[in-house]
Amino acid sequence: MGNEDEGTTFDTIEPSEYIFQPVVREIEKDLSNDDEISCLATYQANLYIGTAKGRLLHYHKFEDADDYMIISQLQVSNNKAVQQILLFTSVEKALVLSGDKVAMYSLPEFSPLNIGKLKGITGMSKINRVNGDNKEGSETSLLWTKDKIRVISVTKQSIKLLKDINYSNTLACVSTLVENGKYVIAANESTYVILDLENIRQIPLFEHNSASGSDFTPQIIPFGSGDSTGQEFLLLVKSDQKSLMGMFMNANGEVTRGTLLWENTGYPSGTICIDSPYILALFKPDNSSYRIVTSSLVTLSEVKTQDLEHILTENQENDKREESEHEESQQDKPITDEPSSYYSLKEVECDLITKSSDLSKLLTQESIPSGSATQSCITIKSRLTLASKRSLLVATRYPTTILLAKRFCKLVANVSNVDAFSEIYNELKDLKQDNDDLASLSAQLQCFILIFIDQDKFLDMVTHIVEGKEGKKMLFDPLFVVHLMSGKDWLSTVKRSTTVFSMFTDIIQPIRDRLGNEKELKARYLFKVLKIVNEDPTIIDSDISDIIHYELYSKHLNTLEQVSITVVEDLNYWNGINFDNNIVKHLEENNVINLIEIYKTLLENLKQSPNKDKIAERLCSLCLSLISDTGKLARSYGKQENDVTKKKESLIDLTLHSLKKDIKDPKTYGKYLFEILKVTPQKGVTFIKNNRREEYKDIHKQIMNQINLKDESDSTALGLTHMKFEYAESVFIDDLKRFNDSSSLDVLDEFLGETLVRFTSKDLLNQKNLEVLHNLKCEYSSKREDIGAKSWPKINWVDFLLVKISQLEEKLFFELYAKIYELILIRCRFKTFALVEVKDDIEEKFENNANLQYLLFMSLDGSKKIEKLLEFSDYQNAEYAAIKDVLVFPAKTFYLPHISVKLPRNEGPTNNCIKKNLITIFKFYSENFVEDQRLLSIIHFLNNYEKHFTPLEALGMIPKDIPIIYLKEYLDRIFVDYNIKHTDILFHKAIGKADSKFMKKLSENHAKEDSI
C-alpha cells in the first residue's frame, strides 16, 4: 500500500484483497499526546472523530483539497471517552454518548443543543426503518440502560421518550421497523432475543456464550439491502475458547444463511464489518500480529488473510511502535476473552474520499513508443474504515475492473477460449465506474476482449463518440487502435505516440499476434473512422485524420470498388485538402490506378468544388502518363504489355470524358487534348468533332493548327492529317448554318484553303491519283465522242467524276476534287476571286495538269472560260457559262444543302455577250466535231438557243454540208411561229379594214342625218 517499491503489484491482486489508505494524514497533530481515537461518524463531506479524552474533532473535505481538514474541536465531556456518535441526518442532529450521558448536537457544524442530557445510558442504536411509517421531522432510536431499553424519538428541537421496556443488562441492541411490527434484536449477558415492541414480549433465539464464566461481548451487525427481505443481521456467538461463530438472521429471527466460523482466531470486538460479498474481521491471535480475515458471505468460508504489518504504510510507523508498547503492557495482564481494541474496523454512514497511491500506480499509463509513464491521482471512496488509536484509514477492495483486467491478461497469456473472454466482458460491461481512469481502463479492456469475441462490437466500440468538455471526441484514440492492429513499430513510422495502461503493455503483442492478418478488420475500422470524420471533422485532430486516411488509402483499398466507395464517403476530406499530401504522393509512386479511381470518383461526386478543375487536370495527367507508356501501364495493372489494350482504351475514354466535362481552363484543355491526339488521333478528332461547343472552338482550331505533319508518309501523321481535315470540315459545315453574308466569306475562304492543302498533300496529289484522274478525263472526253445518243450534252465533268467515285478504291482525292469545285462555285456566287487568294502556290501545283486546271476555269473571264471548258469537253458547263457566266453545281453537293440563305445571283452577261459566247460554242461544235456528234451538237444548239438568233441568222450559221432535213424540228417550230405571226397580222389587217369600213359607213349616215 502506497509503497511503490513493495506495494501490491498487478499480478498479485486477489478479488478479496483490500487497499488501505490514510484519510486524515495530519490527525496526529490534532490529537493531544495522550489522546486517541475512540469513535467516528461521517455526514456528507464531514468527518467527526470522538477521542478518549472526550473531545470531538470535526473535519471537512473541501472539493479542491486533497485531504480532510480540521475545522472545529469540541470538548463534549470531561476526560471521558466519546463512546458513540449517532447521526440522525434527516433532522440533522447527532447524539453523542460519553461516559453514561447522551447529549444532542446539531449537524453538520456539530454545535451543542442546550436541551439537557440523557443519563445512565450504556449504549445506543438507530432503528432501521423498513417499509414502515416514516414520520417526517423525526427519527427513532434505542437507548439502553442497565435495566431498560428506551425507545426515543429525535426531532429538530427535542428528544421524546416513546417507550420504556424493562430489560436488564443489555449489551447490544439493534432494531428494525417492519410493516406489521417493531422488532428489536437484543443481547443480554447470555442470550440473543427478539423483542416484539408491538406485543411487548421477548422471543429467545440462542445463547451467545455457552461457556460459562468467561466474558464475551455479543455483537449484532446489520447489513443488507434494507428492504423487508434483504435486511440481515450477523450475530456473533462464542463457539469455544478460541473460535467464533456467526449466525445470520433477518428481523423476524429467521436464519437466513449457514453458519460462519472463525476458528482459533480469538474474539474480535467492534472489529467486524460487512462489505458484501465479504465479511471483514480483525483479529489478533495469540503471539501473532493483527490480521484481517476476509470471508465470503456466499460460501461462508475464509478467502483472504491480510496482516496489518503489510497493509500499514510508512506513515503508520508510529502506530506500529505504539502497538508494540501496547502489547508489552498487555502481556502483564491476565488473559481474558476481552479482545484487544487497538485497531477497529467500522463502517461509517457516508463515503470517505481519499487519494490512493496504489490505484494511481496500477492505473499508470504508458506512452508508446517512448515508454514514459504518467500517473493520475486516483481517489477512492469507501465507508469502511480501519482506525487505530492515532490514525484513520479507509479500506476498499480493488475495483472489479482491475481484477477483470488482471484475469484477462492471464487468459491472453494462456491462449484461452472465447467463452472465458465472454464471461469477463459480460461482467465488465454493466459495471459502474467510480472515476474517469477506471472508465478508461474498462473501455480499453472491453476493446481488447471484443477483438476476440465480437469484432463488429469491437468496431462499434472503438468508433464510439463521447461528449467531452471540449466537444465530441472518439472514445478511443485512433492511433491506439491502429497501433493495436499494426506492426509494433507503426507509431514510430508515423512519428506519433499514444498511451496504454501499463498493465496492458505486455498483452499488446499477444493480442496483435492473435489478430494475425486481420487486415479486413483494420480496413473496416479505418473506413468507419473516415466516415465519422467526414461527417464531423472536428472529432479528431486533422493530423490524426491524415494518418488514418493515409493508412486506409495506401494500404487497405484493394479493389477499385473499395476505392470508389471510400471516396464517396470521404468527399469532405478530399474537397478541402492539398493534393500534394502523403496519400497522393504514395499512390503516385505505388498505385496510380487507385489514384486515378480516387480522382474519377471525386469528379463524379463532388458538386461545385473549386478543386474540380485541379482534380480533372491531375486525372488527365495521370491517365496520359500511363497511356503514353505501355510499360508503365502494364506494370500498374500487373499485366503483360500486350494485355493492356482495353485498359489503355478505357483510360483514354476516361481522359476524354474528363476533358469534356470537368476541365474549364482552355490552356489545360488544349494541352491534354493535344496529348491525346498524339496518342490516338482518331479518338482525339472524333472527340473534337463530337465536342463542338462554342467555348472550345478556338482551342480546337489552335490544336488543329499545332498538328505538324513532319513526315506525311507516316501512317499516324496521315491519319491525323485526315482527321484534322475532317474536323475542319465538320466545323465548316456548322459554320455554314450560320452563313449569311459576305462577311462569312472568310470562313469559306479558310476552309477552302484547308481543303486545297489537304488536296495537294503528298498522300493525295500523287502520281497514282493523277493517272486515275487522267484516265477518267479521257473516258469523259471519249464518251462524248462515242455517245451517239439523242440528247446533248448529257453530263458535266464533275457529275461524271462523282458517278465514277463509287467505283474507285481511293475516293478521297476525287471527293476533295468535287468539294473544291463546289466550294469555288459557292465562293464565286458572292464575289469574284482567285484561288491564289486562299492558297498562293495553288497555280504552280495545278500548272502542268489540265485536269486540275479545270478547277481554276471558273475564275477565268467569260470567253476564256468557255474556250477552256470546250477544250476540256465539258460542254454542258461551257453552254451554261455562256448564258450565266458561272459553272453549274453538280447534282450531288456537299456543302450547298447546309447553307440556309439563298445564294446571290450573278448579273450575268449581256445578250450580245451571250450571243457571242454561243457563236463561239457553235463554231467549236461545227468545226471540231464530226459526223453524228457534230450533227447532234448543232441540233441541240439550235433547239436550245434559237431564241438568241433570228431564223435567218440561225440558218446562215448552219454549215452547208448539213442537210436541212436534220433541222426539221427547228424549222417546223420557226415556221409555225412564223405562220402564227402571219395569221395574226392578217387578223389585224381584216379587223382594221372592217373597222375602217364601219367608220366610213357611220360617217356617211351621220352626214345624211345632218343634211335632212
Site for other proteins, rule CB under 8 A: 115-118, 148, 150, 152, 158-167, 178, 180, 194-196, 199-207, 210, 228, 237, 239-240, 245, 247, 249-255, 257-261, 300
Query: Alpha helices of 739-811 — where are they, by DSSP H?
Result: 745-759, 767-786, 797-805
Tell me how far, at minimum, the Cβ of 557 lies from other proteins, in Å: 58
> Cβ of residue 398: shortest distance to other proteins, in angstroms?
29
CB nearer other proteins, residue 260 or residue 529: 260
Question: Which lies closer to other proteins via its Cβ, residue 302 or residue 729?
Answer: 302
What's the CA dihedral at 834, 839, 841, 844 to 10 degrees?
-50
Burial readout 567-604 (b: 16 or more C-beta within 10 A, e: otherwise):
bebbbebbbebeeeeebbebbeeebbbbbbbbbbbbbe
CA distance 182 to 160: 18
Instruction: Closer to other proteins by CB, 167 or 941: give it.
Output: 167
Tell which residue, 630, 701, 691, 634, has the closest CA to residue 659.
Answer: 691
Q: Supply the minimum distance, in Å, between the C-beta of residue 259 and other proteins.
A: 2
- What amino acid occupies position 468? G
CB closer to other proteins out of 194 and 816: 194
Nearer to other proteins, 27 or 154 (CB): 154
Q: Is the Cβ–Cβ distance between 176 and 251 less than 8 Å?
A: yes
Q: What's the distance, CA 152 to chain centroid?
A: 70
Closest contact distance (angstroms) between CB of 193 and other proteins is: 9
Helices marked H in 761-861 — which ranges? Answer: 767-786, 797-805, 812-830, 842-846, 850-857
**501: nearest Cα among 364, 361, 356:** 364
Query: Rounded to an integer, what distance in angstroms lies between the CA atom of residue 256 and that of residue 247?
Result: 8
Neighbour tally for 666: CB within 10 Å: 13
Concatenated DSSP letters for 879-941?
HHHHHHSSPPPPSS-SSGGG--SPPPPP----HHHHHHHHHHHHHHHHHH--HHHHHHHHHHH
In angstroms, what is the minimal distance from the CB of 52 to other proteins? 27
Least distance between other proteins and beta carbon 166 (Å): 5
* 3-class DSSP state of 639: coil
Query: Cβ 38 to other proteins, closest distance in Å?
Result: 25
Backbone CA torsion sign across 558, 564, 570, 574: positive
Rounded to the nearest 10°, the torsion over CA 977, 980, 982, 985 is: -130
Would you say 300 or 560 has its CB closer to other proteins? 300
Give the nearest distance from C-beta 118 to other proteins in angstroms: 6
- With CA atoms as reference, report the closest residue to 334 among 211, 171, 188, 214: 214
Q: How many whole angstroms separate alpha carbon 726 and alpha carbon 394?
A: 97
State which residue, 187 or 596, has the beta carbon closest to other proteins.
187
* Cell 416484539 -> residue: 196
- Between 231 and 444, name the residue whose CB sits nearer to other proteins: 231
Rounded to a whole number of angstroms, the minimum distance from the CB of residue 62 to other proteins is: 36
| Residue with Cβ nearer other proteins (199 or 559) | 199
Q: Give whichever of 134 and 259 is closer to other proteins, judged by the CB atom.
A: 259
CB of 61 to other proteins, least distance (A): 34
- What's the N-to-C CA distance of the chain in angstroms? 178
Nearer to other proteins, 61 or 208 (CB): 208
Q: Cβ contacts of residue 566 below 8 Å, gap of 6+?
A: 527, 530, 552, 553, 557
In angstroms, give the least distance from the CB of 165 to other proteins: 6
Q: Quote the least distance from Cβ 286 to other proteins, whole Å.
A: 21
The residue (of 245 and 913) whose beta carbon lies closer to other proteins is 245
Smaller CB distance to other proteins: residue 159 or 485? 159
- Least separation in angstroms between CB 206 and other proteins: 5
Nearer to other proteins, 279 or 352 (CB): 279
Q: Which residue has the cell 467463452?
A: 419
For helices 436-453 and 418-429, give the axis angle rounded to 10 degrees: 150
Say how far apart CA 574 and CA 929 lie, in whole Å. Answer: 84
CB of 285 to other proteins, least distance (A): 19
E strand or H helix that includes residue 526:
helix 519-535
| Cβ proximity to other proteins, 247 vs 292, nearer residue | 247
Name the grid cell of 774: 487522267
- CB of 453: closest distance to other proteins in angstroms? 30
Tell me whether residue 164 or residue 726 sits nearer to other proteins (CB atom): 164
Q: State the minimum distance, in angstroms, from the CB of residue 152 to other proteins.
A: 8
Question: Which amino acid is located at 395 in the chain?
Answer: A
In 364-507, alpha helices (H): 400-413, 418-429, 436-453, 455-462, 478-485, 490-493
Query: What's the half-sphere exposure (Cβ side, CA atoms, 13 Å) at 175?
Result: 26
**CB-CB contact of 289 with 307 (8 Å):** yes
Smallest gap from residue 246 Cβ to other proteins (A): 9
Structural contact between residues 523 and 556, judged by C-beta atoms closer than 8 angstroms = yes
Sequence length of the chain is: 1012
Q: What are phi and psi of 892, to 5 degrees?
A: -105, 120
Strands 272-275, 148-155: pairing is unpaired
Cβ proximity to other proteins: between 178 and 453 the closer is 178
Question: H or E stretch including 124?
Answer: strand 123-129
The smaller minimum CB distance to other proteins, of residues 299 and 900, is found at 299
Taking the complex as a whole, the smallest distance from the CB of residue 150 to other proteins amounts, in Å, to 7
